[in-house]
């Protein structure tokens, strides 16, 4: 007889989450008090995850990041799973979390056993499951979704059929449905003098565009008092505050998590009394702040979207065939030596200010310098692997002469994301990051940026000139002014460029870092001109957001517009 997932909704729903922002201490107390209520749920999940005989051959695996906040988990993730079970009674519904840290906390603190994805897949194989449908509760098709797809790829030939359903925000219809759900949920706060702000997580993946699209949907739908921000990307809290001030009519702000679960980010980054929480910052700005600690998973209309995605996947019947990793991209053979290289991070919270690649005897290592001191050690792998690793396998920081944290790490490949877990000093938790070392920046550094030579035959005498430029990239709000000024000395050309913003603290050209040459007014830099009449890639680091953010741009210097400066 098929087992169904049991959820203690009746008890937990009796505990309201509204009515103001709780501190961290209050949250811990609430979590501790909820452990007793969790007992029956724990026993059910443990039983659900045991490898006993299984009467069904069809399973739906609901995959979530997870949360250690027991009260929130039951009424968000648990509610989604219950909605799925009711809609698909012919399937057994099972649970898996992707965060090994959360899994370990729950096992040690609450004796609650929840499978990670690999364990859930192995269990399904051992149970002889023939058809497996995987429904992630992720918000978008980002890094987490892609990592899940990679894990599933190794198991596609172990089932008669495997189907991977879509995350919450996939098609245009999903955005409309989510806008309707969240605005109906928050309608009681929309009194004309209250700004309703949703806090999303944010990601450095391209999928971060869902937040901008959701804001556009809200605005175009006439919900002019609704705003979307993120913790780790753009739009940031600074962007939200700027929008509130521009409106100029708000006295109050209501904060809600744009996350399935009201977990750590909602309780601490959004609603705690710490100085850097959204609640505290907005209070300092003069607003009366109310926090609503309710995850999206509590909203029946959101649950219905996940059910609809599952139904679409079942109706389509298209088997998941796995993902194929792109072949390693390497821009030519490198001789032994040390090169400046551009390194990209998947998170703005892990900002790499400088990277040097050393090639020796066919292997590569890199010394990376971070923009902050929030991480005490790294592990080359996932956070799940790091939590189980020995201390000697971790990479400790070394302070440079300026007190910055540096780490020497192995580099397995260029131009492909490399898993790197970072241990937070403040949270005492491992966080998954991905680093990508760009081979093209080595080429630029090795052949062009050091000497800054002219790469196109342009006869230019030594001197100073004005020159028109074409500028592309970014959101279009910031730009470099035209014309610029260039100075030619031999085969070396340097340009003085001025932004229309004071918020740029450095630029990167060919992997080399350039600092502003002024201290007041709009940011001014002296950078090498690598090429005329072709787009030259540069990076500008802006501090206009809550965290520094590197943005890619392209500048074209038009040689036929040069005029001598007298």
Residues known to be catalytic? 201
- For 294-325, the three-class secondary structure string (H helix, E strand, C coil) is CCHHHCHHHHHHHHHHHHHHHHHCCCCCCCCC
**Closest C-alpha to 299, from 338, 339, 262:** 262
β-bridge pairing 92-97 and 58-64: parallel
DSSP state of 269: I
User: From CA 225, how far away is CA 237, in angstroms rounded?
Assistant: 15
User: From CA 208, how far away is CA 215, in angstroms rounded?
Assistant: 12
> What are the backbone angles phi and psi of residue 120, rounded to the nearest 5°?
-65, -40
User: From CA 527, how far away is CA 511, in angstroms rounded?
Assistant: 12
Cis peptide before 360 (omega within 30 of 0): no
User: From CA 137, how far away is CA 302, in angstroms rounded?
Assistant: 10
Q: What are the structure tokens assigned to 471, written together?
A: 């500028």
User: From CA 512, how far away is CA 342, in angstroms rounded?
Assistant: 8
Detail the DSSP E strand segments found in 149-204.
161-164, 194-200
State the CB neighbour count (10 A cutoff) for residue 296.
Answer: 26
β-bridge pairing 563-564 and 395-396: unpaired
Count Cβ neighbours within 10 Å for each residue of 445-468 and write b for 16 or more, e otherwise: bbebbeebbbeeebeeeeeebebe
Q: How far apart are the first and last CA of the chain?
A: 90
What are the distances in angstroms from CA 521 to CA 500, 501, 503, 538, 540?
A: 9, 8, 9, 21, 17
Burial degree of 381 (CB within 10 A; 0-12, 13-18, 19+) = middle
Q: Can you list the alpha helix ranges (DSSP code H) found in 169-318?
A: 172-185, 209-220, 237-247, 264, 278-284, 300-316
């Amino acid at each position: 007889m098929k087992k169904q997932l049991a959820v203690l909704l009746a008890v937990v729903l009796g505990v309201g989450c509204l009515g103001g922002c709780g501190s961290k201490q209050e949250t811990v107390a609430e979590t501790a008090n909820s452990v007793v209520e969790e007992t029956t749920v724990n026993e059910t999940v443990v039983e659900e995850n045991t490898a006993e005989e299984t009467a069904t051959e069809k399973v739906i695996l609901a995959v979530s990041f997870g949360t250690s906040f027991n009260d929130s988990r039951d009424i968000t993730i648990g509610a989604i799973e219950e909605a799925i079970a009711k809609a698909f009674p012919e399937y057994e519904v099972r649970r898996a979390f992707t965060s090994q840290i959360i899994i370990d906390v729950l096992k040690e603190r609450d004796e609650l056993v929840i499978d990670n994805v690999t364990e859930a897949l192995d269990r399904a194989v051992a149970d002889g499951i023939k058809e497996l449908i995987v429904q992630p509760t992720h918000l978008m098709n980002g890094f987490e979704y892609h990592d899940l797809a990679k894990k599933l790829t190794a198991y596609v030939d172990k089932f008669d059929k495997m189907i991977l359903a879509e995350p919450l925000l996939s098609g245009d219809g999903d955005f409309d449905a989510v806008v309707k759900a969240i605005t109906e949920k928050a309608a009681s706060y929309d009194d004309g003098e209250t700004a309703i702000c949703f806090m999303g997580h944010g990601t450095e993946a391209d999928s971060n565009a869902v937040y901008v699209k959701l804001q556009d949907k809200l605005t175009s739908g006439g919900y002019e008092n609704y705003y979307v921000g993120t913790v780790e990307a753009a739009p940031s809290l600074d962007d939200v505050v700027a929008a509130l001030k521009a409106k100029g009519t708000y006295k109050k702000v209501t904060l809600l998590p744009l996350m399935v679960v009201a977990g750590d980010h909602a309780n601490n980054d959004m609603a705690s009394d710490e100085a850097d929480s959204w609640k505290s910052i907005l209070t300092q700005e003069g607003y009366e702040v109310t926090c609503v600690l309710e995850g999206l998973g509590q909203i029946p209309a959101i649950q219905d979207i996940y059910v609809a995605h599952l139904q679409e996947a079942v109706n389509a019947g298209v088997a998941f065939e796995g993902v194929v990793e792109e072949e390693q991209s390497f821009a030519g053979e490198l001789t032994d030596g040390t090169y400046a290289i551009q390194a990209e991070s998947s998170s703005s919270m892990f900002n790499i200010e400088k990277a040097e690649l050393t090639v020796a005897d066919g292997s590569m290592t890199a010394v990376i310098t971070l923009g902050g001191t929030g991480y005490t050690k790294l592990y080359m792998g996932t956070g799940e692997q790091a939590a189980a690793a020995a201390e000697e396998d971790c990479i400790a920081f070394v302070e440079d002469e300026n007190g910055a944290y540096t780490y020497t790490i192995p580099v397995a490949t260029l131009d492909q994301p490399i898993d790197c877990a970072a241990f937070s000093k403040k949270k005492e938790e491992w966080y998954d990051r991905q680093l990508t070392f760009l081979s093209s920046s080595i080429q630029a550094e090795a052949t062009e940026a050091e000497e800054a030579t002219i790469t196109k035959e342009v006869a230019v005498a030594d001197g100073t000139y004005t020159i028109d430029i074409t500028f592309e990239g970014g959101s279009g709000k910031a730009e470099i002014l035209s014309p610029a000024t260039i100075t030619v000395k031999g085969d070396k050309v340097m340009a003085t460029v001025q932004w229309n913003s004071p918020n740029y603290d450095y630029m990167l050209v060919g992997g080399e870092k350039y600092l502003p040459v002024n201290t007041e007014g709009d940011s001014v830099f002296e950078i090498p001109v690598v090429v005329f009449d072709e787009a030259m890639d540069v990076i500008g680091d802006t501090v206009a957001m809550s965290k520094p953010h590197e943005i890619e741009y392209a500048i074209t210097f038009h040689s036929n517009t040069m005029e001598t400066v007298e």
